[in-house]
Structure 1
Amino acid sequence: MREMSEERDVIRGKLKQVVFRNDDNGYTVARFIVDDLQQRQVTITGYLPVFNDDVLMELSGLYIDHPRYGMQFQVETFHRVMPDDEDSLIRFLSGPLFEGIGRKYAETLVEALGKDAIRLIKNDPAVLDRVPKMTAKRRTAILEGLKENDDDLENLIQFFVAHGLGMRHVMKLERIYGKDAVEKIQQNPYRMVDEVDGIGFATADKVAMSLGFELEDPRRLEAAMVALIDQMNMQSGDTYVSRESLARQMQRQCAGLVYHFDDLLESLLLQRRLVEEEGRIYHVDQYDAEVQIAQFLTVFPFEELEPVNPIELQQELDALQEKLAITYDQAQLEAIHTFFEQDAMILTGGPGTGKTTVVRALTALFKKLYPYQRIACCAPTGRAAKRLAELTETDTFTIHSLLGWDLESNTFTKTEQDPLIVDLLIIDEFSMVDSWLFAALCKASVHVKKLCIIGDEDQLPSVRCGCVLKDLIASKLFPLVRLERIFRQSEGSDVITLAHQIRQGQTEALDCQGDVAFFPVGLYEIKDQVIRVVQSALDKGYELQDIQVLASKYNGPAGIDRLNAALQQCLNPPEKGKREWKAGYRTFREGDKILQLKNQPDDDVYNGDIGMLVEIIYANEDEAGKNRLIVDFEGILVEYTSDNLLNISHAYCISVHKSQGSEYPIVIMPIVRDYGIMLQRRLIYTGVTRAKKSLVLLGEKEAFIRGIASQEHHLRSTTLTQRIEAMLNPQF
Structure 2
Amino acid sequence: MDKLVHIKSILINKVLHHNVANTYTIAIGKETSSGNEISIVGNFKCATGEKFNFNGKWVFHKTYGRQFEVHGVEKITDLDELEIRNYLTSFDGIGPSRAKRIVDAFGKNTLNVIKKEHTRLVTIGIPSNIVQKVHNEIVKNDVVNKLVEGLRPYGISLRKINQIYETYHEDSLNILETNPYKLADDISGINFSEVDYIAQDKGIEHDCGFRIYSCIKHALFLASENGHTYLPADELIKKVNAILSFKNQMPVDNNYIMKVMLHMEEYKELIIEEDTAVYLPMYYFAERYAARKLYKIRESKYNIPLNKDLDEIIKEIQDEMGVEYAAKQQDAIKSALTDKVLVITGGPGTGKTTTVNGIIQALLKNEPRTKIELAAPTGRAAKRMEESTGKNAKTIHRMLEYKPFGDELKCGRNEDNPVDADVLIVDEYSMVDIILLDKKLRALENTTKLIIVGDVDQLPSVGAGNVLADLINSDVISVVRLDTIFRQAETSPIVPNATLINEGQMPNLDHKDFTLIEESDENIVAKLIVDEYVRLIKEDGLTLDEVQILSPLKKKTVCGSKSLNDLVQEAINPSVKGRPEVVFGSTSYRIGDKVMQTKNDYEKKCFNGDIGYIIDINKTGQDPIIIAKFDDQEIEFIGREEIMKLELAYACSIHKSQGSECKICLIPAVLSHKKMLKKKLLYTGVTRGKAVVKFFGTKEAIEYSVKNNDEDARYSKFYLRIQR
Under a length normalisation based on structure 1, what TM-score does the superposition of the two structures give?
A: 0.84
Per-residue CA shift, 1:209-237, capped at 9, x if unaligned? Answer: 344422221111221222223334534x3
In the TM superposition, 1:196-211 aligns within 5 A as 196-211=187-202
Paired amino acid for 2:551: A
Contact kept in structure 2, 1:197 and 1:410, CA below 8 Å: no
| Deviations 1:7-30 (CA, angstroms, capped at 9, x unpaired) | 647543465665x7353x34456x
SS at match of 2:640: coil
**Structure 2 regions of 5+ residues with no counterpart?**
none
1:313 offset after TM fit, Å? Answer: 7.0
Aligned mates of 2:129, 2:580 — CA distance in 1: 58
Matched, 1:542 2:542: yes
SS in 2 for 1:642: helix
User: 8 Å contact 2:343–2:480 — kept in the other structure?
Assistant: yes
**In structure 1, the residue corresponding to 2:349 is in which secondary structure?**
coil
Does structure 2 retain, via aligned residues, the 8 Å contact 1:64–1:72?
yes
CA distance in 1, matches of 2:283, 2:234: 19
- Cα shift at 1:171: 1.7
Distance 1:85 1:665, change over 3 A: same
Question: How far 1:682 moved relative to its partner?
Answer: 0.2
Identify the residue that residue 248 of structure 1 maps to in structure 2: 238
CA shift, 1:660, in A, is 0.9
Q: Say which SS state the counterpart of residue 506 (structure 1) adopts.
A: coil
| Counterpart pick for 2:387 among 372, 387, 390 | 390
User: Which of the residues 212, 227, 232 maps onto 2:218?
Assistant: 227
Q: Is the 8 A contact 1:523 1:674 kept in 2?
A: no
Q: In the alignment, what sits opposite 2:589?
A: 588
Structure 2: distance between partners of 1:313 and 1:21: 64
Secondary structure of residue in 1 paired with 2:511: coil
Measure, in 1, the Cα distance between the counterparts of 2:44 and 2:445: 44
Deviations 1:184-223 (A, max 9, x none): 5545332333322212111232343344422221111221
The residue that corresponds to 2:109 in the other structure is 116
In structure 1, distance between residues paired with 2:92 and 2:511: 82
Separation (CA, whole Å) in 1 of partners of 2:492 and 2:632: 31
Q: Does 1:670 align with 2:656?
A: no
Partner of 1:495: 494
Instruction: Give me the whole-angstrom Cα distance separating, in 1, the residues matched to 2:263 and 2:4.
Output: 54
> How many Å apart are 1:528 and its aligned residue?
2.8
1:648 Cα offset (Å): 1.6
1:460 touches 1:683 (CA, 8 Å); kept in 2? Answer: yes
Partner in structure 1 of residue 628 of structure 2: 631
CA shift in 2, pair 1:548/1:116, >3 Å: closer
Paired residues, what number? 703
2: CA distance, partners of 1:515 / 1:478: 38
Aligned position for 2:183: 192
Instruction: Specify the alignment match of 2:357 in structure 1.
Output: 360
Q: Which residue type is aligned with residue 268 of structure 2?
A: R
1:162 aligns with 2:150: yes
Deviation of residue 570 (structure 1)?
Answer: 2.9
Match in the other structure for 1:730? none
1:420-464 Cα deviation digits (max 9, x unpaired): 423232222111222222223223334671211111110011223
Q: Report the equivalent of 1:445.
A: 444
Q: Partner of 1:326 in structure 2?
A: 323
1:489 partner SS: helix
Deviates more, 1:53-62 or 1:498-507: 53-62
1:531 corresponds in structure 2 to 530
Q: CA deviation at 1:483?
A: 0.7
Further displaced range: 711-720 or 143-152: 143-152
Distance of 2:615 and 2:123 partners within structure 1: 66
The structure-2 alpha-carbon separation of the partners of 1:4 and 1:201, relative to structure 1 and needing over 3 Å to count, comes to: closer
- What is the CA–CA distance in structure 2 between the aligned matches of 1:35 and 1:8, rounded to whole Å? 8
The answer on 1:85 being equivalent to 2:81 is yes
| Secondary structure of the structure 1 residue equivalent to 2:453 | strand
- In structure 2, how many angstroms separate the alpha carbons of the residues matched to 1:573 and 1:108? 64
What one-letter code is carried by the residue in structure 2 that aligns with 1:692?
K
How far apart, CA to CA, are the structure 1 residues paired with 2:123 and 2:481?
80
**Aligned twin of 2:283:** 286
Q: Shift in Å at residue 665 of structure 1?
A: 0.4
* Normalised TM-score (structure 2): 0.84
* Cα distance in 2 for residues equivalent to 1:351 and 1:265: 45
Higher mean Cα deviation, 301-310 or 644-653?
301-310
Equivalents in 2 of 1:302, 1:195: separation in Å?
40
Report whether the alignment pairs 1:378 with 2:360.
Answer: no
Shift of 1:584: 2.4
Q: What amino acid is aligned across from residue 297 of structure 1 in structure 2?
A: L
CA contact (8 A) 2:48 2:86 kept: no
How does 1:118-137 map onto structure 2 within 5 Å? 119=112
SS at match of 1:639: strand
Moved more, 359-368 or 460-469: 359-368
- Deviation track 1:456-496 (CA, whole Å, cap 9, x = no partner) reads 11001122322111111111232111111112525962100
User: Partners of 2:568 and 2:465 in 1: how far apart?
Assistant: 35
- Residue in 2 aligned with 1:277? 273
State the secondary structure of the residue aligned to 1:460.
coil
Alpha-carbon deviation of 1:694? 1.1
Question: Which SS does the other structure have where 2:690 is aligned?
Answer: strand
Distance in 2 (alpha carbons) for counterparts of 1:28 and 1:121: 24
Residue 297 in 1 paired to residue 297 in 2?
no
User: What secondary structure is seen at the aligned counterpart in 2 of 1:654?
Assistant: strand
What's 1:608 paired with?
609
User: Following the alignment from structure 1 to structure 2, what is the Cα–Cα distance between the partners of residues 323 and 42?
Assistant: 80
Q: Identity over aligned residues, as a percent?
A: 27
- Answer yes or no: is the 8 Å Cα contact 1:4–1:65 preserved in 2: no
Does the C-alpha gap of structure 1 residues 502 and 261 become closer, same or farther in structure 2, counting only changes over 3 Å? same
Asked whether the 8 Å contact 2:596–2:648 carries over to 1, the reply is yes
In the alignment, is residue 215 of structure 1 matched against residue 210 of structure 2?
Answer: no
Q: Is the 8 A contact 1:83 1:89 kept in 2?
A: no
Which residue does the alignment assign to 1:691? Answer: 689
Q: Does 1:261 align with 2:257?
A: yes
Deviation sequence 1:97-128 (CA, Å, 0-9, x none): 899x9899868845xxx5436547867999x8
Distance 1:280 1:137, change over 3 A: same
Give the letter aligned to residue 500 of structure 2: Q
How far 1:654 sits from its partner (Å)? Answer: 1.3
Deviation at 1:687, TM superposition (A): 0.5
In the TM superposition, what is the alpha-carbon distance from 1:69 to its structure 2 partner?
A: 5.1
Change (3 A) 1:253 1:324: same
Contact 1:375 1:395 in 2 (8 A): no
Distance change (3 Å), C-alpha of 1:346 and 1:150:
same
How much does 1:549 deviate? 1.3
Q: Secondary structure at the match of 2:634?
A: strand
| Alpha-carbon distance between aligned partners in 2 of 1:125 and 1:662, rounded to the nearest angstrom | 58
Asked whether the 8 Å contact 1:471–1:720 carries over to 2, the reply is yes
Instruction: Give the Cα–Cα distance (whole angstroms) in 1 for the partners of residues 692 and 101 of structure 2.
Output: 85
Q: Aligned pair in 2 of structure 1 residues 171, 338: CA closer, same or farther (>3 Å)?
A: same
Deviation for aligned residue 1:305:
3.9
Per mean C-alpha deviation after superposition, the further-off stretch among 545-554 and 697-706 is 697-706
- CA offsets 1:532-557 (integer angstroms, 9 cap, x no match): 43344343342332111111112223
The answer (yes or no) to whether the contact 1:26–1:167 under 8 Å persists in 2 is yes
SS of the equivalent of 2:308 reads helix
Deviates more, 1:664-673 or 1:154-163: 154-163
Kept after mapping to 1: 8 A contact 2:493/2:514: yes
Change (3 A) 1:136 1:588: closer
Check whether the contact 2:414–2:442 (CA below 8 A) recurs between aligned residues: yes
| 8 Å contact from structure 2 (residues 348, 495) kept in 1 | yes
8 A Cα contact 1:90 1:107, kept in partner: no
